[in-house]
Amino acid sequence: DDVIIDNGASSFVPLTHYLISNQVPALLQDMGHEMVVHTVITGSQALLDTVSGFAQLASQFPPEALFVVWLNPFWGTVEHEGKSFEQMKAYTANKARVSAIVNIPALKEDTYGRDLSDMLQERLTFDEALAMDSFTIMTRQRLKIIKGQLFNQLDSAAVL
């Protein structure tokens, strides 16, 4: 079975320290499991911080831990000095550790973006949101489109 631990920024450092100091990736591998760390790279002001965070994670976690990188253009394009993420040193140095790159589509802020934001703020999965009659039919349609775009990338990358 897949297990997902979704933690916020305030617990990220302690959780990472716990996983690394207790050799959890090796433990999982010994048990026949695989650890895949999902990390987000955002555009604009946070770009360099999120790229640096990815590089630090890749250097701190042992080789058996793999990464899925989510490129999020919500705040701006994910590029620095004309270089895409795939051209940046942080990626090229850790390319073998990255099992997939998921490009979050740029969403029109007042429709698709608002719908996705509302869904996430209510802590709903796509399936839960799509089943809710309280969302309008067009909101559910837009969420269905976003889900399709993201899940198609995950399927193509064989990311579970």
Do residues 139 and 93 make contact, with C-beta atoms less than 8 angstroms apart? Answer: no
Which amino acid is present at 160?
L
Rounded Cα–Cα distance for residues 93 and 58 (Å): 9
123 and 157 housed in the same domain? yes
Number of domains making up the chain: 2
What is the C-alpha separation between 151 and 55, in angstroms, rounded?
A: 25
- Do residue 94 and residue 128 come from a single domain? no
> Do 4 and 29 share a domain, yes or no?
yes
Residue type, 25: P
**Which domain range does residue 62 map to?**
1-104
pLDDT in tens, 105-138: 888 989 999 999 999 999 999 999 999 999 999 9
Cβ partners under 8 Å of residue 58, min gap 6: 67, 90, 93, 94, 97
Give the chain's radius of gyration (CA, Å): 17
Digit-coded pLDDT (tens) for 19-75 = 999 999 999 999 999 899 999 999 999 999 999 999 999 999 998 899 999 999 988
